[in-house]
Amino acid sequence: MKSTFKSYLELIKFRLTSTVVATSSFGYLIALKSIGGEDWLSLFNWWLFAGVLIGGMFIVFAANGMNQIIEKENDAKMSRTSNRPIVEDRIDVKSARIFCWITGILGLFVLMASGASFLAVLLGGLSLVVYVFVYTPMKQVSPMAVLVGAIPGALPPWIGYAAVVPRVDELGFILFLVQFFWQFPHFWAIAWILHEDYQKAGYWLLPTKGGRDKRSAYQVLIYTVILNLVSMMPLIYGIADIKAISVIIPVGIFFLFKAYRLFQTLEVSEARKLLYASFLYTPVVFLCYILF
């Protein structure tokens, strides 16, 4: 039982899932602040909040598991994925597929049962479909897969926001954009570090066919600049004030500096530093939107 449980934790990538779902909670809290003003905490609904977190978690479980089912043969070719439970037959494909369908459907049901808006449920379903059926098969075809994959990856904060605000509005879309543009320097840093390993499976995930070259590093730099600009947009809607900006700007400059260092050197060590900086960026930015 212990071994099976551990295998399923690997299938769903539990640690990665928890970080993704955390952005949903940020979106939920930002939505409360946007409609409640100074008394926004009085609007907090534990039932809805739990539904956003648990429903979102089950949806990501399903996406991660289906990804491993589809990529079983390619995962076996790469060092970092060759010991995944599907590859090693610790979980058979049929059982994994049943598990993923159950968790995916359960995730959407939990969102609905918690009282989340139809928009939140729709975005949750969209994230699952795009990640599994568009992004995953596209990874071997084109570097554009990163752009497509950034869409479901950017939806969690909007899902959390839409659970409270049942309409498409500017602020919800801005939260999506912040998470969307953040994924490019974050994921390209990973792709830079693991370039040779990805090549074994035929994945071209850096932005140019040249791999670790100046053109790829330039793309990383440009998207980091765009991310910094997009992160300032909530100031227009009264969510972020000057105190928030006074924190967001230094963090953004630090992140941009790491992207510039990668552009200068093209070194894997600098890509790793950029990756670590990316882990800091979005939590700080979203917390600034909430606290200031």
Same domain, 130 and 147: yes
Co-location of 152 and 184 in the same domain: no
Cβ pair 36, 12 in contact under 8 A: no
CA atoms within 13 A on the CB side of 51: 23
Looking at this protein, which amino acid is placed at residue 244?
Answer: A
When divided into structural domains, the chain yields a total of 2
- Position 94 pLDDT exceeds 80: yes
- Mean pLDDT on 203-221: 91
CATH assignment at residue 154: 1.10.357.140
**Rounded CA Rg of the chain:** 19
Query: pLDDT at position 184, please?
Result: 96
In the predicted structure, residue 1 carries a pLDDT above the cut 80: no
For 30-52, the pLDDT digits (tens) are 999 999 888 888 999 999 999 99
Confidence of residue 21 (pLDDT cuts 50, 70, 90): confident
**Does the pLDDT at position 93 exceed 90?**
yes
Domain co-membership, 183 together with 281: yes
Residues 101 and 150 placed together within one structural domain of the fold: yes
Cα–Cα distance measured from residue 150 to residue 172, given in angstroms and rounded to the nearest whole number:
16
Q: Cα(175)–Cα(66) distance, rounded to whole angstroms? A: 26
Q: Are residues 157 and 226 in the same domain?
A: no
Q: Are residues 66 and 199 in the same domain?
A: no
Q: Say what the pLDDT of residue 281 is.
A: 96
Q: Do 40 and 155 have their domain in common?
A: yes
pTM for the model stands at 0.93
Q: Which domain holds residue 273?
A: 177-292
Residues 54-70 have a mean pLDDT of 94
Place of tokens 């953040």: 182
198: Cβ–Cβ under 8 A, 6 or more apart, which residues?
A: 78, 191, 204, 205
Residue finishing a domain among 147, 168, 189: 168
Comparing 44 with 21, the larger pLDDT belongs to 44
Examine the domain organization and report whether 244 and 149 are in the same domain. no
130 and 62 belong to one structural domain: yes
The per-residue pLDDT of the chain, averaged, comes to 92
Domain end among 168, 186, 219? 168
Alpha-carbon gap, residue 56 to 171, rounded angstroms: 20
pLDDT at 202: 81
Average pLDDT of 215-231?
96
pLDDT of 236 reads: 82
Q: What is the mean pLDDT of residues 218-225?
A: 97
Which of 168, 188, 221 is the last residue in one of the domains? 168
Q: How far apart are the first and last CA of the chain?
A: 47
Cα–Cα distance, 38 to 31 (Å, whole number): 13
Helix (H) or strand (E) holding 167: none
Model confidence band, residue 26 (pLDDT cutoffs 50, 70, 90)? very high
Residue 140 has pLDDT above 80, yes or no: no
**Do residue 146 and residue 6 come from a single domain?**
yes
Residue 238 has pLDDT above 80, yes or no: no
186 lies in the same domain as 152: no
Instruction: Looking at the structure, tell me whether residues 228 and 268 fall in a common domain.
Output: yes
CA–CA gap between residue 21 and residue 24 (Å, rounded)? 5
Q: Is the pLDDT of residue 88 over 80?
A: yes
The answer for residues whose C-beta is within 8 angstroms of residue 25's C-beta and 6 or more apart is 49, 52, 53, 160
